[in-house]
Chains A and B, each alone.
Chain A
Amino acid sequence: MIILRLLKEKMVLAICATAALFAALMLVVIVGNIAIQALPSLSLYFLTTAESDTPRIGMAISNAIVGTFMISVCATILATPFAIGTAIYLQRYAPRNWLTQIIRFLIEVLSGTPSIVLGIFGLIFLVIFLRHYTGGFSLIAGSMALSMLILPVIERAAEDAIERVPHEWEDASYALGASKWATIRGITIPAGLSGIVTGAILGFGRAAEESAVVILTAGYSQFMPEWTVRASDKLAFGMKIYPVQDLVGTLPYSVYHAYENSNVIPMSNGFAAAFVLIMIVLIVNLSAKCILWRYGNG
């Protein structure tokens, strides 16, 4: 009998090991396939020319690379203060009452909101309702919508980081007579900084990979973002600030564009844009992992 039972165990082990290998190999299969398909289009010209400077659409992506970085950086800058503030409040100040429960619950709701719902919300609120301030489809509208998407990501990472700060350190600070705010400023935030930075980096990656929200709020532009201010009677204060209130092109949209116009744009161009996007997000995620691994406390 024991042999039968051990045999059963070996069979389950084999099944589970196969599942794990299959899951891990998916990454290799997907990235490998995309790299192979992308190879014919990956040239310096493709990566460093703006789409507006090419004879046909979809032949270069440097404007989209720059746009992706700009929109993700803006979204991260907008979201991080709110995320850190909320995390500190929930971890160190919040009393155990209904209000705290509601805040936690609503942040979970925000983190589960389908991206298409955030996208149409951004469309109706940021692009249409606030068009005199955001300039309609624009970098700022896209960044604000994305910041709502990544706020829960950064908030959770920051909360984890603050939770890992040893209580003894804070107690020592209190014992020396420091106030709560002084302790948080002097001990908690510096000690949890690596985790907070990791959260911000993960938020950046999450913003860079999002497509539905960006399509509905940032629009697309073939031109390299420009840095200037021009008069405009459609916007508040009578001026349009480039690139903030201007359309911006992003990599996810380039990929979708290649899919939608597959009769005009060669397939490998879409894959090349996808490959660049994957590499950006993978490098960002890996560096977040490294920071946590190298400087992580606890």
Chain B
Amino acid sequence: MNQSIDFPKIGFLAVSMLSILSVFLIFGFIFHTAAPVLAKEGFSFLTGTTWSYADHEYGVFTFIVTTLVMTAITLIIACPLSICTAVFLAEWAPAWMDRPISSMIELLVGIPSVVYGLFGFYILEKVFRYHIDPFIDATLGFIPIFADPTPNSGSGILLASSVLTIMILPTITALTREAMVKVSLDFREASLSLGATKWETIRKIVLPIAFPGILTAVILGLMRAMGETMAVVMLIGNVNSVPKSIFSDGVAMTSKILCDIGYYVSFPEPKSALFAIGAVLLLMEFLFVASIRLVGHYFGRKGLKP
């Protein structure tokens, strides 16, 4: 038996190393380009509310808040919708319904984000301007966050969030369904044999066991919503302010970068500032990926992972 160096193993390790080299390149170049402005602004980069190329002042606070509000609204709509869908597909739907519905939802992933933007801008915008916005404004408008400050436009955070909902729905639905299907039949039968109804079994047994998987699904959906660019640029209205209502226009972190990079890439300081937004986005993404790991670790140790 030849016990010399295992060349294929070293070759495959080298290929893997080259693959992850791209991550280091991304982090290196983004942070290197962002460094001047990050060093100059320090912590006030995160807390400052003015973004002015003329005054050399860069603060991303409003963009971060807009992104977070938009992501939160997206999740508020998307979570119930996709988890209910997943419950139906995993628990109730017979195979002949499960197959086509699952495939149709999966195919939603394949629609390009720029097409979602176009669809939202030309078709949903009218629906929101003439029907949904006035309706919510009339029924719940006495609460400030549901008042419509721009009655003549349908674009804004709610429109962007609604389209983002469709975009992240397949991710959350598919992963939640997978987590629920994995729950062992024994647990369900034990619960059913004690006289629980199917819904009680789902509520008390299946959903708690599948919880880590569902949490991971939601975090992945959240990351996708937060990092989405094209659709958001086309739908959020691009007027920079701290959002006061769900209909406000805003500028998200991603849309700020895309809108300005084309013009400012040849000016060192503005370029650095825009890359600093990218650096913040990258760090947030990094933390979420790490949190998915932690979810797996924490529940894995408690023995709850199915």
Contact = CB atoms under 8 A, between A and B. Distances in A.
Interface of A: 5-6, 8-9, 12-13, 15-17, 19-24, 26-28, 30-31, 33-34, 37, 81-83, 85-86, 88-90, 93, 102-103, 105-110, 112-121, 123-125, 128-129, 148, 151, 155, 179-181, 184, 205, 208-212, 215-216, 252, 255-256, 258-259, 267, 270-271, 274, 277-278, 281-282, 284-286, 289
B227 A5 contact: no
B130 interface: no
Nearest to A114: B227
Nearest to B9: A93
B92 interface: yes
B265 interface: yes
Contacts of A211: 112-114, 229-230
B103 A289 contact: yes
Contact of A17 (B7, B80, B92, B227): B92
Contact of A33 (B18, B103, B109, B119): B119
A105 B224 CA distance: 17
Interface in B245-285: 254, 257-258, 261, 265, 274-275, 278, 281-282, 285
Chief secondary structure at chain A's binding surface = helix
A256 B286 CA distance: 29
Nearest to B11: A85
Given A86-B16, A103-B16, A181-B8, A113 B282 contact: yes
Chief secondary structure at chain B's binding surface = helix
A210 B30 contact: no
Contacts of A12: 87, 199
Give the residue among B6, B12, B17, B106 with the most A Cβ atoms within 10 A.
B12
Contacts of B288: 112
Contact of A205 (B30, B110, B169, B286): B110
Contacts of B289: 105, 108-109, 112
A148 B27 CA distance: 13
Contacts of A81: 15
B257 A120 contact: yes
A6 B197 contact: yes
A117 B115 contact: no
Contact of A117 (B17, B26, B173, B265): B26
